[in-house]
Amino acid sequence: MSTPPHVTPWWKSASVYQIYPASFLDANGDGTGDLAGIIAKLDYLKDLGVDVIWLSPIYRSPLADMGYDISDYEDIDARYGTLEDWDRLLEGVHARGMKLMMDLVVNHTSDEHAWFAASKSSKNDPKRDWYIWRPGKIVDGEELPPNNWESLFSGSAWERDSATGEYYLHLFISKQPDLNWDNPVVRSAIWDVMRFWVRRGCDGFRMDAINCISKTDGLPDAPLVDHTQYYQPASMYFANGPQVHRYIKQMHAEVLSHHDLITVGETPFTHEESELAAYVLPQNRELNMVFHFELMDIDSPPESQLLRKPWTLGELKAIVSRWQRFMRDDGFWNAVYIENHDHARSVSRFGNDSAQWRTVSAKMLAVFEITQTGTLFVYQGQELGLKNFPRTWGIEEYNDVAAQNYWNLIKEKRQKAQGKKDVDMSDLLDSFAQKARDHARTPMQWNAGAHGGFTTGTPWMRVNDDYPEWNAEQQIGDDTSVHAFWKRALKVRKAHDVLIYGDFVMLLETDEQVFAYTRNYGSTSALVLLNFKEGKVEVDLGEVIGGVARYAFVLGNYEKEAIGLEEKVTLRGYEARVYVREALLN
Ligand code: GLC
């Protein structure tokens, strides 16, 4: 039995809304979203039922990876505003009883950060050891990078710097040099950055790629798995490395333990529960929760998240139910999310974004999320059922460096193999249309005006074509909209502790169309029925829950009025229903 809600920390029941600032709302007409735009929408967020806003990075940055490359941790990029704007934002957030969580990107900095400029200036600079520098490796008289690690955004993970002739490590693009966490001075500089924001009033941190901060000693070559190239995936040597828990425990002791913060670590390349448990179990004094990647990786082959592999509902059910039940009694806590700035839109991936099914399946996915235990995350536009942009958009619309680099790599390989410049890339565009990060980064669709009301200027990224019909203004006035449903769904979650804290029991385990489960908390049970396909389906509850008496309807995506529960239930296409039952007290 889990701890009763009155003694649990506030962040467990929180609904967190992630803002991607560049694409939220542009208040000054320069084509990029800004802090003033966010301030203008605080009432919208409060009305939706948001408790915590997570801001993707707004620090000074050359934006080589959209702000995940920071050149000054203690200043706001001029595109977004000023520190004073941030103070105003915080004030507005707090005045509405909400909280503000910042993105902490400290596995790496930008190569334009003053720390890196000093580090690369000379081998003797006091900051040389703040980054990971190594001499090249001579093989058959030829100089190669220090090892064969592949960057997560294609090519070598090493860049040679001509000033000293040495290479620096960058797990992501070359403009994102990795900090050397083994240097205690670097760690204390990071604690100072965190203290800076906590002193200024922020309420927590989402920690970017935090499981990558400790690399295996000696930086060994990765095993050869991709025979088409020299560079090899190397996450076994940088994810969950030897010192990672020591460093995060130190962060906890130095900074986190002194404040009441929400903390969530991003932990890619890890499907092993026990590995992730170590970050989260309360007695370890590290983080509140992590974003595991198992569900996000369900439709990706090992070579790239930009490619698509078919997935089955059985796989999804197995992943979700495993995490929902994982080490609950020991205090493990989930972060529940199906969308963020690194993934395509959830209605296009897990629902059905055709005209007929888009609304109802987006609502079904809302029910899927709000009926899981854990802290809930909603990504901007998800509350409107925003979908991927169309396949007809060309590669020039994909701004993301991950898509661009991967495209160029594959194109070069094909050109070489086929001995011609003009090669067919349409299959890759098919994949990108389904999987690229860019789909989550199109501007928010506020109204039917030019560029969806996002900007009065020229948007930095094209707005999805459907904004005249799919926008916030249209949906707010419509009780049957995805937005109205999310608002209701977030309220239902808050009204029923069983949905937040209850145990999870999967029903109909082998069913490939329906995901059904019960949640139990004290004397309350909830029953959740989700049809993940278009076709109608009959579910025989009599066999699995032994009686449907006293189950009261609390939420459904077809009609608002209560639908009674029979032992044999017919679920319509993408139908979702939630029932709650209070046990009779004797
Ligand atoms: C994280 C971010 C992603 C970024 C990467 C490098 O995965 O979510 O957007 O590209 O780290 O910072």
CA-nearest residue, atom 12 of ligand 1: 68
d(CA 96, CA 240): 38
Locate the ligand 1 atom nearest the alpha carbon of residue 268 and give its number.
Answer: 7
User: Which of 61, 66, 68, 175 should be mutated for ligand 1, with most atoms under 8 A from CB?
Assistant: 68
User: Which of 109, 208, 377 should be mutated for ligand 1, with most atoms under 8 A from CB?
Assistant: 208
Question: Would you give the distance in Å from CA 3 to the centre of its chain?
Answer: 27
Bridge-based pairing state of the strands 166-169 and 158-161: antiparallel
Q: How far is the CA of 159 from the centre of ligand 1 (A)?
A: 19
Q: What is the pLDDT of residue 3?
A: 47
d(CA 143, CA 136): 6
Q: How far is the CA of 346 from the centre of ligand 1 (A)?
A: 18
Q: Which pair of structure tokens corresponds to residue 582?
A: 């209070």
Task: Indicate whether this model's pTM tops 0.85.
Answer: yes
Distances (CA, A) of 194 to 129, 197, 401, 523: 21, 5, 27, 42
Q: What is the pLDDT of residue 548?
A: 86
Q: How far is the CA of 125 from the centre of ligand 1 (A)?
A: 29
Residues with a CB atom less than 6 Å from ligand 1: 65, 68, 105, 172, 208-209, 266, 341-342
Helix axes 401-418, 426-435, angle to 10 degrees: 160
CA-nearest residue, atom 6 of ligand 1: 68
Q: Which pair of structure tokens corresponds to residue 503?
A: 């145990």
The tens digit of pLDDT for each residue in 276-304 reads 999 999 999 999 999 999 999 999 999 89
The tens digit of pLDDT for each residue in 482-503 reads 999 999 999 999 999 999 999 9
Q: How far is the CA of 67 from the centre of ligand 1 (A)?
A: 9
Q: What is the pLDDT of residue 1?
A: 45
Locate the ligand 1 atom nearest the alpha carbon of residue 342 and give its number.
Answer: 9
Question: Would you give the distance in Å from CA 500 to the centre of its chain?
Answer: 20
Q: Which pair of structure tokens corresponds to residue 452?
A: 């969806």
- Phi, psi dihedral angles at 45 (to 5 degrees): -70, -40
d(CA 116, CA 473): 45
Whose tokens are 């025989």? That residue is 540
Catalytic residues: 208, 266
Mean pLDDT by 10 residues, the chain (586 residues): 62 98 98 98 98 98 98 98 98 98 98 98 98 96 97 96 97 98 98 98 98 98 94 97 98 98 97 95 98 97 94 98 96 98 98 98 98 98 98 98 96 97 98 98 98 98 98 96 98 98 96 97 96 97 85 93 89 97 73
Taking a C-beta distance cutoff of 8 angstroms, is the pair 462, 452 a contact?
Answer: no
Torsion, Cα of 504, 508, 513, 515 (10° steps):
-10
Q: What is the pLDDT of residue 38?
A: 99
